[in-house]
Structure 1
Amino acid sequence: MPAPETSNYPGLSLTLPTLEQKSWQQLVTVLDNSSGETTAPGFKTMTVASRTATGADARTVVLRKVDADRKYVWFHTDVRAAKVMQFEAFPDCTLLFWDEKSQVQLRLTVETRLHTDDYVADEHWQTIGAGNRKNYLSEYRPGSEQPAPYPGFPAHLGAGLPSAEESEAGRANFAVIECRVLAMDYLQLNRSGQVRALFQYEPESKMVWLAP
């Protein structure tokens, strides 16, 4: 009988601590622009799924900061957006990342905290440029009905950028959502076999393999 082929199942070469560290490092790496890549890395954006009084809601946001040691991530939003009220009523939510290149999905269970008029929001505001600040200059609440298409900022700005002085007007609408990660669910798709694991941080710490 011919000898069986050697399995190339990726799960056989992994350990849970290594996989957990690798997952956090991938989140950290997408915020490093030193590579000069012109395309956004896979985990640069995420889907935020939150609870509402009548069901659930979801939207895509940009990852802004990661603390792999303390298990925190942050993103920005307009303080007038509906999701801010959702987070205040129901602080727990899910962050869903997908990287097409590596075929990896990360699902983070988090507890959110809103920052508006404090040093955390001030520090984040100082890190964003005029292009991002422009998005917080809207005269209207996000999601409000309009009589015609509205660009999300004063029409006179057009394709241009606001001056440093003009951009400061957006600070009043700027909010930071801090997410304390309670658990991370890792899934990698592979023709040779899927790999799934759970890394739980609170209320108790544990690492376990899961069936995909």
Structure 2
Amino acid sequence: MTLIELDKAAWINLERAGTDSGSALRYLNFCTVDRDGHPQARLVVLRAANREDRTIEIHTDIRSAKWREVSANPAVTVLAFDAARGQQLRLRGKAERHGRGSPKAADAWDRLSPWTRSTYTGGPPGESSADVELETASAGGKEGKFVFGVIVFQAFQLDWFQLKRGGNRRAMFLYGSGSELVDAREINP
């Protein structure tokens, strides 16, 4: 594959992962920096990707540490790995928060299933559940709408890596301010 084809295929696979719960790229490592300067990585569910504007969308509880960390420092790395293909996608960029009352959060909430809505009920993420009486989803998780947020990650760089017996391959892709591909080159694995 040419470099242009590699870039296009990577983003097509990310787009598919946003709608295919069985995709190897469905679960991403979302990496931020905490207030003490320590790297923080956690698995998140890829909800949507768009190759035209080089974005990835995830959902979160606005009481979570990642929400606060993105507010303090929007520089984020997203890491995806497809074991069957032996491909790693490491994306660098910035994250933007869309919380309660924003059109993006409202639209995303409206598209969620009742079960997924119910996952936003209960106490704040990371706090002891022994002291929290979990709310039920009997109202379709409506309580969760108040703590639901969307994070949109905008990629500036894709470090594509292929593990392959007989020769690994690696390429770097840089995107401009309009999300256009401005540089693509092979680099040493």
Same fold (TM over 0.5): yes
TM-score by length of 2: 0.91
> What residue is the counterpart of 1:142 in the other structure?
125
Matched, 1:184 2:161: no
- Spell out, residue by residue over 1:24-65, the C-alpha distance to the aligned partner (whole angstroms, 9 max, x if none): 1111122344xxxxx721100000110123211111000001
Matched, 1:70 2:53: yes
Matches within 5 A, 1:27-176: 27-33=14-20, 40-54=22-36, 55-116=38-99, 117-138=101-122, 140-147=123-130, 153-154=134-135, 157=136, 162-163=137-138, 165-176=139-150
Relative to total residues, which structure has the larger strand share, 1 or 2?
A: 2
Give the conservation status (yes or no) of the 8 Å contact 1:136–1:153: no
Query: How far did residue 202 of structure 1 move?
Result: 3.6
Residue identity matched to 1:141: P
- Report runs of 4+ in structure 1 exceeding 4 Å deviation: none
Provide the rounded CA distance (Å) in 2 between the counterparts of 1:137 and 1:32.
24
Residue identity matched to 2:108: H
Q: Percent identity?
A: 26
Provide the rounded CA distance (Å) in 2 between the counterparts of 1:202 and 1:53.
29
Provide the rounded CA distance (Å) in 2 between the counterparts of 1:50 and 1:175.
16
Query: How far did residue 102 of structure 1 move?
Result: 0.6
User: Structure 1's 65 and 171: CA in aligned 2 closer, same or farther, altered over 3 A?
Assistant: same
Give the conservation status (yes or no) of the 8 Å contact 2:28–2:78: yes
Quick check: which has more Rg, 1 or 2?
Answer: 1
Provide the rounded CA distance (Å) in 1 between the counterparts of 2:29 and 2:124.
21
> What residue is the counterpart of 1:210 in the other structure?
187
Give the conservation status (yes or no) of the 8 Å contact 2:156–2:174: yes
Give the conservation status (yes or no) of the 8 Å contact 2:77–2:91: yes
Equivalenced residues, count:
184
Provide the rounded CA distance (Å) in 1 between the counterparts of 2:174 and 2:159.
8
Query: How far did residue 153 of structure 1 move?
Result: 4.1
Query: How far did residue 16 of structure 1 move?
Result: 0.6
Which ranges of structure 2 fall in alignment gaps of 5 or more residues?
Answer: none
Provide the rounded CA distance (Å) in 2 between the counterparts of 1:63 and 1:43.
8
- Spell out, residue by residue over 1:173-207, the C-alpha distance to the aligned partner (whole angstroms, 9 max, x if none): 10000111111110010002111101111468211
TM-score by length of 1: 0.81
